[in-house]
Amino acid sequence: MGNATNNKDSQLVYLKERLNMFVQVIDTIEPEEVELEDIDRLLSILDELEHKCEQFKKGE
């Protein structure tokens, strides 16, 4: 998953895969056991996804 993506189709596939992985993580979290560090990491992942979306939009 760390490979650079150069065309729009592969960029979209990459983003979908990352988003699916994020959703899977969310689904496995036990609300009673979640720590602040877990929430911070989830927010970080969302920031990374947003950054990738912006990069792909700009054609980087």
Q: At what angle do helices 8-28 and 36-58 cross, to 10 degrees?
A: 170
Read off the pLDDT band of 1 (50, 70, 90): very low
For residues 26 and 51, what is the distance between their CA atoms, to the nearest angstrom? 20
Dihedral pair phi/psi, residue 23, rounded to 5°: -60, -40
Q: Which residue type sits at 33?
A: E
Q: For the whole prediction, is pTM greater than 0.85?
A: no
pLDDT of residue 24: 94
pLDDT exceeds cutoff 60 at 5: no
pLDDT of residue 56: 85
pLDDT of residue 19: 93
Q: What is the pLDDT of residues 26-59, one digit of tens each?
A: 999 999 999 999 999 999 999 999 999 998 888 7
Residues constituting the chain: 60
